[in-house]
C-alpha cells in the first residue's frame, strides 16, 4: 500500500497540516542530507504487555481478568501480528506500517537495573548508564557530539518547555515550544528589544549561551513554522478538526525535518502511562492514550515522505508493569517492557527479542516480565547501523553497554 | 544574585546610591546581606522591603521569618483572601457539593455536567489565586516559601480527576500550610491521611482481597503510595528499602481511605479507616514485625509512619533537599550532615533545622557565589513583587507558568518540580522568560482586568455561595489609574532598580543606559542578574 492510499484508508487525509510540507511536498523536497533518529519517550511506564499482547500465552489471560486484550478476531480483540503477539486495537493507525515491514517491536526489553522508581529508571534510560547516577550528560547529547559538526545549524531538537535529561550536555539543542504558540510573534522578535538584550547577554556564561541558542532557534523556527504555513494548514484542513496534541507536535516535527536537512536528532515525550487504577482493556484509559500516540506516529511517517526512508523512530518507556493486574483493575511498577522501532531502514513486521514467557518461573522476581534484551542494545544498534557511529563513539555514547548477546536484534535494521 | 562578588558599578544615569566602589562599604555589605535574605527566605524584595530589613537588621528579619505565627497579614491581603469563597469550604463539603456527587446529580444533562466541571475548575482557580496572593503580598515570606517547598515535596496533581481540582487547595490549606514550619511527622501524617493524597496515589482503593456479597474475590493491593512515600517523601530512593518493604507497607496501609458514600451523606471527617479492607495478617516492614491480629489495624499505619519519620535516611534526605533549595544545587555535604543531625536531635522540628541552616556559614557564603537559577515560579513571583503591581487578574501569570513548563499545582508526577538550574535553564526557557519580562516591564499584561462572575456551586446548600464577587473592590483606592485595556502602567525603572538594590554588572548597566527608557523596566526584569538569586 502506498502512503497516499494508506492515509485515505486511515481517514486522515483531512488531518494533513502544513499543506506545502504534506503530500504535495513529497515529490520536490530537498534531498535528505543525513540519517535521522527520533526518540519518543513514554514517561510513567507504559504497560507493554497490553501494547504488544502475548495473546497465544494462556498465562496472560489468567493474570489479567479485567484488563486483558481479547484474542484476535473477537470483539475488541488484539490485531494479530505473528500468531503469538497482537497489537492493542487502539494502535490500528500504525498497523499499516507493520504490514509494510517498517515497524518492529523488541519484547521483554529493558534495563539491567532492577529499580522500580520511575525517576531513577527514566534517569538511567536518558543517561544511558543504568545504575550510575553521576553521569552528567544524556546519551542523545553524547551521540550529537559524535556526529559531523555543522556549526550554526540546528542539529538536534526537543519538544516541550524544558530540556530533557537525555539531551543534557555540551551540544547545542533547540527546544521547540508545543502547539500553535510556536509561531506567534513576541516581544523578543522585535529588533530594538532583542538588540538591547543582545548587549546585556554578550558573553555571560551559561545564561548567555542559552540566550544566544534560544534566539537562534527562535529565528529558525519562525522561518520554518511561519504564519503562512499556519494559514495554509487551516486551508488544507477543509474545515475538519485540526490535529491536536501529539499529532500537532509530530506534524511540526515533520515540517522542521523537511526544511532543516542538518537536523539529525529529535526527542519527544508523552506522559500519563502510570495506570495503577482502571487501566482499561481494549477501551479505556490506556487505549485513550495509545490512540493519539499511534495517530501522531502515523502522521509523522506519512509527512516525512521519502525522508522516512532515512529515519528511525524509537518509542521507549522506563520499565514495564506487573504481569498480574493489581487490586484496582490496574497494574503496578514492573520490569521488562516492549520497545517500538519504526522507519525506512527497519526490518519490520517482526517481534524481536527472546520471549521469556509469563509462567511463574519465567517472571522476574515472580511478578514482572523479565528483561532479555538490554535497552542499550537496541539503541546502540540504531546508532551504529543507522547513524553510522564507529565503535569508539559507541563506547562513549553507551559506556559499559553489552556488545554481545544481541540475539536476533542484530537483524533489526536492514542496513 | 551575585551581589557580593559583583562590583556594584552603577551609571549616574540610573543610579540612586551613586556608589561605584570596588570594595563594598560596610553599609553596602548590609544592603547585600539584606537582599540575600529577602531573596532566599522569601521571593525577593517588594518596594520598601530593602529599607525595612536594613532598618530592623538582617538577624531580626531571619528570626521574624522563623516565627510566621506572629506576623499579621495586612488587612488588604486578608480581605482579598476572604473574597475567595471556595477556599473556605471543608474538604468533606467540597466533595459533596463540587465533587463526584454533584456530577452524579447532573446525570446525562450536558449543561448540568458542564456547570459541575466549571465549578470544580473555579475551586482550583481560587486555590491558585490564594497561593499567588500570599506569595506576592504576604510579609510572612518564609511561610510561603516553605508551603511551596512542602507542597512540592508531597506533590498532588490538580488535573487528576474532579477530585484533583476540588481538593488541591484544601490539601495545601489543611495538610501542608499548618505544618510548614512544624514537625515533619505531623506533615507526613496529615498528607498521608488527606483525601487528596489518598486519591492521587491511589491508596484509597488499596485493600486486602476479599469476597463481595456474591462470593466473588474483589480488590487487592495497590503499591503506588507505599512506594512513593518511601522513595520521595521520607527515606529517599537509596534509603535502604526493598520491593518486599514496598509490598508490606502497602499491606499495612490497607484500609486507609475515604468513604465517598459517607462524605455524600454528610460526614465531616474526610479520612476513614476501613477495617473491612485492612489486611490483618502479620507483616515484616523495615526489619520490624507488625502483628496484625494484635492491633486495631489503623495503628499499624501510624507505627509505620513513625518508623519512616524517625529513620536517619529520612533526616538525611530532607536535609539534602532543604540545603539544595536554600543554598546550592550541589549542597555542601558537611552542611547536610549538620542539618540531618539537627533533624534527628529535634525529632524532625522543621523550624529548628531551618534555624541551623540560616545560621550556617555555608548559607551566607553562598551569597558570594553565582547564585541559584530561579525556577519559573520564583521568577514570575519575584518579578511581580519587584514591580509593586497589585494584581487583580492572575491569568497572565498562571498562563506564563504553564508556558514555562511549571503550571501551578500542575506537576503530574509525584516527585514534584525540581529546583536546580539544569532542570530549567535552556534556550527556549530564556526566550520565554524575556518575553514575559518585556510584557510585564512594558505594561502589556492585563493584570487589572476584573474577573467574570464565578459559577455557583452546583449543589451549594442554603445560599452559602456568593457567586464570586470581584476580588478587587477593597484595593480600588490604592490601585493606580489603569493603563489601556486594564493593564497596569509600566513600572518606573528607577524605582525598580532601587527596590532591587542595584545589583547590576557593568555590562548590564551599560546596556540599560544605552537603551530607550521605555524598554528599561523590561530589561531590568530580564537581566542576567534577575535570573538568579
Residue in chain B lying closest to A177 (CA): B428
What dihedral angle (degrees, nearest 10) is formed by the CA atoms of B514, B515, B521, B526? -90
Spell A84-99 as b/e; 16+ CB within 10 A means b.
ebbbbbbbbbbbbbbe
How far apart CA A23 and CA A18 sit, in angstroms, is 9
Q: Grid cell 459517607 — which residue?
A: B262
Whether A349 is covered by a domain: the verdict is yes
Of the residues A197, A201, A219, the best mutation for testing chain B's interface (the one with the most B CB atoms within 10 Å of its CB) is A197
How far apart CA A178 and CA A159 sit, in angstroms, is 6
Whether A305 is covered by a domain: the verdict is yes
CB B417 within 8 A of CB B411: yes
Q: Give the pLDDT of chain B (533 residues) as one tens digit per residue.
A: 444 433 333 333 344 333 333 455 667 788 999 999 999 999 999 999 999 999 999 999 999 999 999 999 999 999 999 999 999 999 999 999 999 999 999 988 999 999 999 999 999 999 999 999 999 999 999 999 999 999 999 999 999 999 999 999 999 999 999 999 999 999 999 999 999 999 999 999 999 988 777 777 778 899 999 999 999 999 999 999 999 999 999 999 999 999 999 999 999 999 999 999 999 999 999 999 998 777 789 999 999 999 999 999 999 999 999 999 999 999 999 999 999 999 999 999 999 999 999 999 999 999 988 899 999 999 999 999 999 999 999 999 999 999 888 999 999 889 999 999 989 998 888 988 999 999 999 999 999 988 766 666 765 433 333 333 333 333 333 444 555 669 999 999 999 999 999 889 999 999 999 999 999 999 999 999 999 99
Structural domain count of chain A: 1
Of the residues A117, A160, A161, the best mutation for testing chain B's interface (the one with the most B CB atoms within 10 Å of its CB) is A161
Question: Range of A47's domain?
Answer: 36-182+244-312+319-335+345-365+388-411
3-state secondary structure of B517: helix
- Of A163, A187, A207, nearest to B531 by CB-CB distance is A207
- Of A44, A174, A276, nearest to B427 by CB-CB distance is A174
Q: Quote the minimal CA–CA distance from A226 to chain B in Å.
A: 17
pLDDT-derived band at A259, boundaries 50, 70, 90: confident
Whether A191 is covered by a domain: the verdict is no
3-state secondary structure of B289: strand
DSSP assigned state of B351: H
CB B44 within 8 A of CB B34: no
Q: Grid cell 542595584 — which residue?
A: B502
Instruction: State the cell numbers at A28.
Output: 520536490
Phi, psi of A338 (to 5 degrees): -110, 140
Mean pLDDT, rounded, for A246-275: 89
Instruction: State the cell numbers at A118.
Output: 520511575
Whether A205 is covered by a domain: the verdict is no
Whether A234 is covered by a domain: the verdict is no
Verify whether the Cβ–Cβ distance A118 to B514 is below 8 Å: no
Rounded to two decimals, the pTM is 0.83
Whether A380 is covered by a domain: the verdict is no
B391: left (phi over 0), alpha (psi -120 to 50) or beta: beta
Residue window 243-272, chain A: list those with CB within 8 Å of chain B.
271-272
ipTM entry = 0.84
How far apart CA A208 and CA B113 sit, in angstroms, is 50
3-state secondary structure of A346: strand
For A72-95, write each residue's pLDDT tens digit. 999 999 999 999 999 999 999 999
pLDDT value for A299: 94
Whether A221 is covered by a domain: the verdict is no
Judging contacts by C-beta atoms under 8 Å, the chain A residues touching residue B440 are none
Verify whether the Cβ–Cβ distance A210 to B425 is below 8 Å: yes
Of B393, B328, B318, B308, nearest in space to B352 by CA: B318
Whether A58 is covered by a domain: the verdict is yes
- Of A115, A214, A272, nearest to B427 by CB-CB distance is A214
Q: Quote the minimal CA–CA distance from A330 to chain B in Å.
A: 9
Residue window 38-77, chain A: list those with CB within 8 Å of chain B.
43-44
Judging contacts by C-beta atoms under 8 Å, the chain B residues touching residue A177 are 403, 428, 432
Judging contacts by C-beta atoms under 8 Å, the chain A residues touching residue B512 are 200
Phi, psi of A104 (to 5 degrees): -130, 165
Amino acid at each position: 500500500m502506498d502512503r497516499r492510499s494508506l492515509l485515505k484508508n486511515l481517514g486522515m487525509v483531512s488531518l494533513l497540516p502544513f499543506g506545502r510540507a504534506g503530500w504535495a511536498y513529497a515529490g520536490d523536497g530537498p534531498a535528505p542530507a543525513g540519517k535521522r533518529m527520533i526518540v519518543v519517550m513514554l514517561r510513567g511506564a507504559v504497560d507493554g504487555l497490553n501494547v504488544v499482547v502475548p495473546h497465544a500465552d494462556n498465562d496472560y489471560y489468567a493474570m489479567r481478568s479485567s484488563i486483558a486484550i481479547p484474542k484476535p478476531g473477537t470483539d475488541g480483540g488484539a490485531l494479530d501480528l505473528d500468531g503469538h503477539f497482537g497489537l492493542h486495537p487502539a494502535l490500528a493507525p500504525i498497523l499499516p506500517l507493520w504490514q509494510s515491514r517498517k515497524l518492529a517491536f523488541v519484547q521483554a526489553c529493558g534495563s539491567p537495573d532492577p529499580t522500580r522508581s520511575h525517576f531513577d529508571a527514566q534517569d538511567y534510560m536518558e543517561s544511558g548508564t543504568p545504575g550510575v547516577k553521576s553521569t552528567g550528560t544524556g546519551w542523545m547529547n553524547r551521540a550529537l557530539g559524535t556526529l559531523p559538526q555543522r556549526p550554526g545549524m540546528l542539529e538536534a531538537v526537543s519538544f516541550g518547555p524544558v530540556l530533557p535529561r537525555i539531551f543534557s550536555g555540551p551540544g547545542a539543542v533547540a527546544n521547540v515550544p508545543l502547539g500553535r504558540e510556536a509561531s506567534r510573534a513576541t516581544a523578543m522578535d522585535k529588533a530594538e528589544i532583542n538588540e538591547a538584550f543582545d548587549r546585556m547577554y554578550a558573553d555571560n556564561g551559561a545564561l548567555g549561551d542559552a540566550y544566544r541558542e534560544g534566539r537562534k532557534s527562535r529565528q529558525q523556527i519562525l522561518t520554518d513554522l511561519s504564519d503562512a504555513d499556519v494559514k495554509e494548514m487551516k486551508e488544507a484542513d477543509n474545515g475538519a478538526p485540526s490535529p491536536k496534541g501529539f499529532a500537532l507536535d509530530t506534524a511540526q516535527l515533520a515540517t522542521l525535518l523537511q526544511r532543516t536537512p542538518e537536523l539529525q536528532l529529535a526527542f519527544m515525550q508523552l506522559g500519563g502511562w502510570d495506570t495503577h487504577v482502571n487501566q482499561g482493556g481494549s477501551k479505556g484509559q490506556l487505549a485513550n492514550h495509545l490512540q493519539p500516540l499511534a495517530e501522531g506516529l502515523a502522521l509523522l511517517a506519512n509527512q516525512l515522505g521519502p525522508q522516512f526512508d532515512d529515519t528511525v523512530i524509537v518509542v521507549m518507556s522506563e520499565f514495564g508493569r506487573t504481569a498480574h493486574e493489581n487490586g484496582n483493575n490496574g497494574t503496578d511498577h514492573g520490569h521488562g517492557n516492549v520497545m517500538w522501532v519504526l522507519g525506512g531502514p527497519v526490518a519490520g513486521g517482526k517481534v524481536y527479542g527472546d520471549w521469556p514467557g509469563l509462567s511463574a518461573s519465567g517472571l522476574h522476581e515472580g511478578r514482572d516480565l523479565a528483561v532479555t534484551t538490554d535497552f542499550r542494545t537496541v539503541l546502540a544498534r540504531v546508532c551504529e547501523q543507522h547513524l553510522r557511529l564507529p565503535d569508539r563513539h559507541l563506547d562513549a555514547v553507551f559506556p559499559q553497554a553489552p556488545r554481545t548477546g544481541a540475539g536476533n536484534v542484530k537483524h533489526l535494521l536492514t542496513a | 544574585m551575585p551581589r557580593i562578588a559583583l562590583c556594584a558599578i552603577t551609571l549616574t544615569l540610573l543610579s540612586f546610591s551613586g556608589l561605584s566602589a570596588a570594595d563594598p562599604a560596610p553599609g553596602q555589605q548590609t544592603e547585600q546581606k539584606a537582599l540575600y535574605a529577602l531573596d532566599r527566605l522569601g521571593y525577593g524584595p517588594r518596594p520598601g522591603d530593602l529599607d525595612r530589613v536594613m532598618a530592623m537588621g538582617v538577624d531580626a528579619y531571619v528570626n521574624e521569618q522563623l516565627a510566621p505565627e506572629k506576623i499579621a497579614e495586612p488587612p488588604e491581603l486578608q480581605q482579598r483572601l476572604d473574597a475567595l469563597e471556595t477556599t473556605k469550604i471543608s474538604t468533606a463539603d467540597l466533595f459533596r457539593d463540587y465533587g463526584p456527587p454533584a456530577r452524579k446529580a447532573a446525570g446525562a444533562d450536558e449543561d448540568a455536567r458542564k456547570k459541575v466541571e466549571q465549578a470544580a475548575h473555579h475551586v482550583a482557580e481560587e486555590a491558585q489565586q490564594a497561593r499567588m496572593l500570599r506569595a506576592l503580598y504576604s510579609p510572612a515570606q518564609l511561610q510561603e516559601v516553605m508551603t511551596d517547598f512542602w507542597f512540592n515535596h508531597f506533590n498532588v496533581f490538580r488535573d487528576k480527576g474532579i477530585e484533583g481540582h476540588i481538593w488541591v487547595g484544601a490539601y495545601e490549606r489543611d495538610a501542608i500550610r499548618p505544618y510548614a514550619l512544624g514537625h515533619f511527622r505531623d506533615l507526613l501524617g496529615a498528607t498521608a491521611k488527606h483525601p487528596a493524597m489518598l486519591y492521587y496515589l491511589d491508596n484509597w482503593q488499596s485493600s486486602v482481597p476479599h469476597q463481595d456479597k456474591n462470593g466473588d474475590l474483589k480488590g487487592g493491593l495497590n503499591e503506588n503510595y507505599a512506594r512513593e512515600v518511601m522513595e520521595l517523601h521520607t527515606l529517599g530512593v537509596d534509603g535502604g528499602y526493598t520491593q518486599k518493604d514496598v509490598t508490606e507497607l502497602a499491606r499495612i496501609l490497607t484500609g486507609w481511605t475515604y468513604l465517598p458514600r459517607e462524605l455524600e451523606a454528610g460526614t465531616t471527617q474526610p479520612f476513614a479507616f476501613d477495617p473491612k479492607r485492612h489486611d490483618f495478617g502479620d507483616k515484616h516492614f523495615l526489619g520490624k514485625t507488625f502483628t496484625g491480629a494484635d492491633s486495631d489495624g489503623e495503628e499499624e499505619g501510624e507505627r509505620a509512619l513513625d518508623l519512616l519519620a524517625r529513620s536517619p535516611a529520612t533526616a538525611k534526605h530532607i536535609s539534602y533537599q532543604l540545603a539544595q533549595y536554600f543554598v546550592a544545587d550541589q549542597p555542601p555535604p558537611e552542611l547536610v550532615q549538620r542539618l540531618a543531625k539537627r533533624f534527628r536531635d529535634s525529632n524532625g522540628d522543621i523550624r529548628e533545622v531551618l534555624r541551623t541552616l540560616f545560621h550556617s556559614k555555608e548559607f551566607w557564603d553562598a551569597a558570594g557565589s553565582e547564585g541559584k537559577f530561579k525556577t519559573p515560579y520564583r521568577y514570575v513571583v519575584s518579578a511581580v513583587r519587584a514591580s509593586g503591581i497589585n494584581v487583580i487578574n492572575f491569568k497572565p501569570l498562571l498562563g506564563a507558568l504553564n508556558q514555562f513548563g511549571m503550571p501551578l499545582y500542575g506537576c503530574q508526577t509525584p516527585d514534584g518540580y525540581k529546583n536546580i538550574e539544569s532542570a530549567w535553564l535552556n534556550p527556549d526557557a530564556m526566550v520565554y522568560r524575556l518575553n514575559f519580562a518585556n510584557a510585564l516591564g512594558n505594561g502589556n499584561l492585563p493584570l487589572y482586568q476584573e474577573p467574570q462572575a464565578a459559577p455557583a456551586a452546583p449543589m451549594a446548600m442554603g445560599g452559602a455561595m456568593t457567586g464570586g464577587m470581584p476580588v478587587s473592590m477593597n484595593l480600588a483606592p490604592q490601585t493606580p489609574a489603569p493603563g489601556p485595556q486594564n493593564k497596569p502602567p509600566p513600572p518606573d525603572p528607577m524605582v525598580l532598580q532601587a527596590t532591587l538594590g542595584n545589583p547590576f554588572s557593568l555590562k548590564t548597566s551599560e546596556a540599560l543606559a544605552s537603551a530607550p527608557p521605555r524598554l528599561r523596566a523590561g530589561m531590568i526584569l530580564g537581566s542576567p542578574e534577575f535570573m538568579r538569586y
